[in-house]
Amino acid sequence: MTNRSVIFFDIDGTLLKHDKTLPTSTKEAIFQLKELGHEVAIATGRAPFMFEDLRKELDIHTYVSYNGQYVVLNGEVVYSNPLNIDSLEKLTETALTNEHPVVYMDHEDMKANVPEHAYINESINTLKIDRFPTHDPHYYKGRELYQSLLFCREGEETQYEDNFKDFDFIRWHPLSVDILPNGGSKAKGIKKIVEKLGFPSEHQYAFGDGLNDIEMLSKITNSVAMGNAEESVKAVAKHVTKSVEEDGIVHGLQMVGLLSK
């Protein structure tokens, strides 16, 4: 175990470039890590069904999804942290009054509480996935949801932050914020995996670029922020690599000594 490490990778802006393509150098680096005996995992805000193709392409079966709310180790769910449905129902009522759409998400699908909205179209389309939320305003009933999306302009989420303390709100697009269980994070999801695998802190690595990576990068001993990350993200990381557009994953892995130059 002393020669093996576990490495967690964010997806958007980290593994994938801004056009949502996977650099060849990154794919090769992932397989080199696996050949060396390291454990490679994903830590993302995405739903499991939003990166199934990527998992297959990289042969990765361990992941933290929904920013830590749905955690899978070697294909088996080891932790889940669903949203408070009563609070979500009240939030939806407020959102409808404000004409702010909501999308409900479990581990298999996502459904919108309105038939159509420009904010949903614009933000979801940036993910370049083959799944789009269809209309089902009652999807939250009788099932566990691990994340929801609130569609509003920057600054408009403050009224929800003030009134719905069961949730954390993290913006991922100018027109959309993630709704998460209060206190949930990638860092907590990662902790569930490393406890199972037994990797000591000095053999834990994480790469990320977004605001939802701040806690992960601040708590993982060997953290690496992408060169394209915001300054607040770079500030908490132990290392800063090149941007995803400049083979930042390979450079970062070499920088921390996991791959040779």
* pLDDT at residue 1, rounded to an integer: 41
- 108 with 143, same domain: the answer is yes
Question: Mean per-residue pLDDT for 92-102?
Answer: 97
Query: Edge to edge, what strands does the sheet with 204-208 contain?
Result: 76-80, 70-73, 63-65, 39-43, 6-9, 204-208, 222-225, 239-240
Nearest Cα neighbor of 186 from 200, 198, 168 is 168
Last residue of one domain, picked from the residues 141, 165, 181: 181
- Whichever domain contains 117, its CATH number is 3.30.1240.10
Q: Active-site residue 130, yes or no?
A: no
Last residue of one domain, picked from the residues 155, 181, 207: 181
Question: Mean per-residue pLDDT for 89-111?
Answer: 97
Asked if pLDDT for residue 45 goes beyond 60, the answer is yes
**Sequence letter at residue 227:** G
Pairing verdict, β 134-135 and 6-9: unpaired
Specify if 261 maps to a domain: no
Give bridge partners of residue 224 from the DSSP assignment. 207, 239
- 106 with 172, same domain: the answer is yes
Q: How many domains does the chain have?
A: 2
Question: Mean per-residue pLDDT for 185-193?
Answer: 95
Residue-by-residue DSSP string for 169-213: EEEEETTEEEEEETT--HHHHHHHHHHHHT--GGGEEEEE-SGGG
Render pLDDT for 16-32 as a digit per residue (tens, 0 to 9): 999 999 999 999 999 99
* pLDDT at residue 2, rounded to an integer: 56
Domain that holds residue 31: 6-80+184-255
- 47 with 69, same domain: the answer is yes
Residue 70 zone, left/alpha/beta (φ > 0; ψ -120 to 50; rest): beta
Question: Mean per-residue pLDDT for 168-194?
Answer: 94
Render pLDDT for 214-258 as a digit per residue (tens, 0 to 9): 999 999 999 999 999 999 999 999 999 999 999 999 999 999 999
Q: Write down the catalytic residue from 10, 168, 209, 213.
A: 10
Specify if 61 maps to a domain: yes
User: pTM of the prediction?
Assistant: 0.90
Question: What phi, psi does 219 have (nearest 5°)?
Answer: -105, -25
- 169 with 117, same domain: the answer is yes
- Proportion of the chain above pLDDT 90, given as a percent: 94
- Interatomic CA distance for residues 99 and 117, integer angstroms: 10
Asked if pLDDT for residue 102 goes beyond 60, the answer is yes
Beta-carbon count within 10 A of 83 CB = 26
- 192 with 162, same domain: the answer is no
Question: What phi, psi does 231 have (nearest 5°)?
Answer: -60, -35
Specify if 260 maps to a domain: no
